[in-house]
Amino acid sequence: MEAKKIIENVQGINGGQTTNGTLRLTDYHIVFCAPISPPAELTKATPAAPPKTRERWLTFPIFSHCTFRPTPPGSRQASSIRIRCRDFTFITFNFANSEAAREVFEFIKVRTCKLGTVERLFAFAHKPLRNEREVDGWHIYDPRAEFRRQGISEKLPDKGWRITNINKDYTFCDTYPAVLVVPSKISDNVLKYAKDFRSRCRIPTLSYIHPVNNCTITRSSQPLSGITRKTNVQDEKLVAASFSVSVSGGSESGTPMSSQLDVSSAGSTQAPELSESDKFEDEMIAQSVLMYDEKTGKRLVYGAQQSNLIVDARPTINAVLNQVQGMGSENMDKYKFATKIFLSIENIHVMRSSLNKVVEALKDADISPLPPNRELLQQSNWLKHIHDVLAGSAIITRQVGINHSHVLIHCSDGWDRTSQLSALSQIMLDPYYRTIEGFVVLVEKDWMSFGHMFRLRSGHLNHDDWFSVQRDAFAGTKVNPGENDGRTDAFQNVISGAKRFFNPNKDEDEPDVASEAASGKVVNEEATTPKMVSPVFHQFLDCTYQLIRQYKDRFEYNERFLRRLLYHLYSCQYGTFLYNSEKQRVDARVMERTSSVWDYFLCRKQEFTNPDYDPTIDDHVIGKERIILPRLKDIRWWYQAFGRTDDEMNATLDAFALSESERQAAVSRLHNSGTPSLNSKPPNLTASQSVLTAVETAHQTLTPPSNPSLKRSVSAEGIGTSAGLSAGAFAALRDGIANINIGKSVFASATPAEEAASSASNPKPEQEMQEMT
């Protein structure tokens, strides 16, 4: 590739190690070329030979921050450029010539945040190698073929679902795929009347049907119920039809309807090991579906499934506040055939802030060989968020695969947390998605076609705010390996102190937890909006890594496959992740003009294949069952992705796990295993925390005369969830909004009876309000 600029005598610093070399600048990369020093013994034994060089390529879109530190004229100190990358590469370049450093900085800036359009990114100029050209990555995923694999096709017996072409030209919903699968009994005319009730017209539609029990995972966006709690008959019919598909009597191959249920019925010990949190969640959901006729007091049974779920991935308070903006959540009086649960998975702003704190812990990885700041790692709550996403996915997996229930998933717009939960639960349910081909199909289906906004979330065109020039009293100070010049920290400490003085109750790094960014139009402009950038897909890959780490022989792809996919999410070398929707990719003719990222992986399949992979599925053998569930107490830092060693990132967690294991062994030896013991709190995770924050069913059928203690909403507050609201508090918030009048507070108080019933466990009103700020 042609070099536009070449700068000699540049010092590169990475991991506290310095190397002198040459910097080459192309239109799409910065390339650092440095000689490789041969071993001393080899140098003595052989005559001098031309030194070999090593090249380090950095693609411009992967830069997350670039700081230029100039030196004043006549200074003996070197000017420097410090770069942080999204693949957690940290590198500093020191220049002997200050003007050359400035030219490099401006060169990089022009080719990142000044491009103006994604069509000027490397993907549109990249010439793939011959072996990549032989792979047709763009057509690995065929929606009709994938749904045919799941048993849905015009040529196959009707399983209660049909393919509709209502969105073939993307006029029905421009963020949905052209091929949609809906219940057979629902006509396109019903769909047309139902679409306006869901945000962005993203109606409930099928993503996955279980091959054994015909239970399904459908996905949508939030309903537009608003403060008046509007309803839509067509939407109710659509969800009811999705949940009414009957359970099959078993697959043609004779596989039991559920591996766990089949095994446990035989008295085996192979049933899945559930944590106390898992058992609590299942108990809460099971309790909520014991429905009774309000007149006769007799139990009502709606078909074979009695625990069909609507999963709202948002914290309860976020959903309530969205209701003020005209959105909200389902009125369960109209969905009596289902139970609704709220999860405590935070929004894109909280996740972005969390990753930024991880970066803060790692930020000196260029100039220092020291391990990351473990206190900052813990404060980031990154592992807690990974825990919550996995825990929510596990609930969905158990409902579909073990409890034979249908599940509808949504968050706000249905393209962030919904994609995470849907894809991860399918990996846990279906061994096909644990193969390389299956994972490609899954990403194309649940992320690409269903409109995860890769361009918006990834910030491919960078932003001016991510480039800075430091002009201060320290400008002439050279940054050497092992040193931290302290200027950034000192300045940040002053600003942070001022913010804390004026707002002592709010962390300046924490955005509004209730903000879901759900209002307004879909962003079509190509410019990066920093507040819309968030590591949603990164979290999905991290969660998948946790499963691979825990089930080492159950996945065909290896850890490096996930890590390279994370790199190419930001490299912009391929066209796969450059757009926000299937429609945008079609309009841009991306398949004709760029290569698919799957070309890269599939032509190098051996590099990304797990040598320990065992594809055997046998529901009667421990370790070979169809379903896998995450071990939520065994979550670790994905240290390879963060460019660190296992010991640097996980030493504290491993030490805790070892001490906990020894403690449990001691308890067992003392024969006290029958007495419940308090579990210690592992670092970065909340002890025994459930992702479940509330359970809600239809009011008329949840309170039988014989059990008046059951309330409309059942809260998980008692187990320590940070965003949970009690039954009375949640009902008061929602009903207060529904009955809003001029002159009244938006948040009405709970009735005296509700307050009395929940006073022992409910948080105080000021604590509830604090969650919204």
Q: Residues 461, 464, 469, 470: is their CA dihedral positive or negative?
A: negative
Report the C-alpha gap between 197 and 64 in whole angstroms.
38
Triad 16, 22, 28: Cα angle to 5°:
95
Q: Which of 168, 172, 170, 174 is nearest to 144 (CA)?
A: 168
DSSP 3-state assignment of 60?
A: helix
SS (H, E, C) 440-498: HHHHHHHHHHCCCCHHHHHCCCCCHHHEEECCCCCCCCCCCCCCCCCHHHHHHHHHHHH
Checking if the pLDDT of 723 tops 60, the result is no
Checking if the pLDDT of 138 tops 50, the result is yes
Annotated binding site for substrate: 347-348, 411-417
The predicted pLDDT at position 405 comes to 95
By the 8 A CB rule, do 157 and 128 touch? no
The predicted pLDDT at position 711 comes to 40
The token duo for 455 is: 């361009």
Report the C-alpha gap between 277 and 254 in whole angstroms.
33
Report the C-alpha gap between 706 and 689 in whole angstroms.
31
Report the C-alpha gap between 305 and 213 in whole angstroms.
11
- The mean pLDDT of 608-629, rounded to a whole number, is 95
Report the C-alpha gap between 747 and 771 in whole angstroms.
14
* Every domain of the chain and the residues it spans: 5-112+462-483, 138-253+316-324+348-459+526-608, 730-773
Checking if the pLDDT of 705 tops 60, the result is no
CB atoms within 10 A of CB 676: 8
Strands 90-95 and 79-85: antiparallel
Strands 309-312 and 339-343: parallel
Q: Where are the alpha helices (DSSP H) in 195-294?
A: 233-243, 259-265, 276-288
The token duo for 266 is: 């035989």
Which residues pair with residue 66 across a beta bridge?
Answer: 83, 467
The predicted pLDDT at position 37 comes to 73
Q: Bigger pLDDT: 649 or 2? A: 649
By the 8 A CB rule, do 150 and 445 touch? no
By the 8 A CB rule, do 404 and 707 touch? no
Each residue of 290-335: pLDDT tens digit?
554 555 555 444 444 458 999 999 999 999 899 999 999 999 999 9
Report the C-alpha gap between 541 and 635 in whole angstroms.
14
DSSP 3-state assignment of 326?
A: coil
**Which pLDDT band, with edges at 50, 70 and 90, does 698 fall under?**
confident
Report the C-alpha gap between 689 and 633 in whole angstroms.
10
DSSP one-letter code for 290: -
By the 8 A CB rule, do 526 and 455 touch? yes
Q: Which of 582, 509, 140, 512 is nearest to 357 (CA)?
A: 509
Annotated active-site positions, please?
411
The predicted pLDDT at position 662 comes to 72
For helices 559-571 and 536-550, angle between their N-to-C axes, nearest 10 degrees: 170
Which residues pair with residue 22 across a beta bridge?
Answer: 33
**Which pLDDT band, with edges at 50, 70 and 90, does 701 fall under?**
very low
Checking if the pLDDT of 666 tops 90, the result is no
Checking if the pLDDT of 759 tops 90, the result is no
The predicted pLDDT at position 520 comes to 41
Q: Bigger pLDDT: 766 or 329? A: 329
Q: At 694, give phi and psi (nearest 5°).
A: -160, 150
Residue type, 218: T
Checking if the pLDDT of 53 tops 80, the result is yes
Each residue of 207-239: pLDDT tens digit?
999 999 999 999 999 999 999 899 999 999 999
Each residue of 397-417: pLDDT tens digit?
999 999 999 999 999 999 999
Q: Residues 493, 497, 503, 507: is their CA dihedral positive or negative?
A: positive
- Lowest average pLDDT, out of 30-44, 178-192, 262-276, 315-329, goes to 262-276
**Which pLDDT band, with edges at 50, 70 and 90, does 475 fall under?**
very low
Each residue of 14-39: pLDDT tens digit?
988 999 999 999 999 999 999 887 66
DSSP one-letter code for 53: E
By the 8 A CB rule, do 481 and 18 touch? yes
By the 8 A CB rule, do 239 and 329 touch? no
In 3-state terms the chain splits into helix, strand, coil percentages (rounded to 5) of 40, 15, 50
Report the C-alpha gap between 460 and 471 in whole angstroms.
28
By the 8 A CB rule, do 409 and 313 touch? yes
Q: Which of 729, 763, 727, 759 is nearest to 747 (CA)?
A: 729
- Which residues make Cβ contacts (< 8 Å) with residue 688, sequence separation at least 6? 275, 276, 277, 679, 719, 720
Checking if the pLDDT of 265 tops 60, the result is no
φ/ψ bin of 751: left (φ > 0), alpha (ψ from -120 to 50), beta (otherwise): beta
| CA dist 528 → 117, 227, 453, 462 (Å) | 10, 33, 12, 6
DSSP one-letter code for 608: G
**Which pLDDT band, with edges at 50, 70 and 90, does 611 fall under?**
very high
- Lowest average pLDDT, out of 245-249, 330-334, 421-425, goes to 245-249
Compute the residue count for the chain: 773
Checking if the pLDDT of 749 tops 90, the result is no
- Which residues make Cβ contacts (< 8 Å) with residue 364, sequence separation at least 6? 90, 370, 484
The predicted pLDDT at position 733 comes to 54
By the 8 A CB rule, do 294 and 703 touch? yes
Its pTM stands at: 0.81
Q: Bigger pLDDT: 294 or 696? A: 696
Report the C-alpha gap between 585 and 381 in whole angstroms.
35
Report the C-alpha gap between 757 and 728 in whole angstroms.
8
**Which pLDDT band, with edges at 50, 70 and 90, does 702 fall under?**
very low
- The mean pLDDT of 573-598, rounded to a whole number, is 98
Report the C-alpha gap between 190 and 193 in whole angstroms.
5
For helices 727-738 and 316-324, angle between their N-to-C axes, nearest 10 degrees: 10
**Which pLDDT band, with edges at 50, 70 and 90, does 747 fall under?**
very low
pLDDT > 90 fraction of the chain, expressed in percent and rounded: 60
Residue type, 646: D
Checking if the pLDDT of 619 tops 80, the result is yes
The CATH architecture one would assign to domain 5-112+462-483 is: Roll (2.30)
For helices 276-288 and 382-397, angle between their N-to-C axes, nearest 10 degrees: 50
Strands 216-219 and 205-209: antiparallel
By the 8 A CB rule, do 46 and 35 touch? no
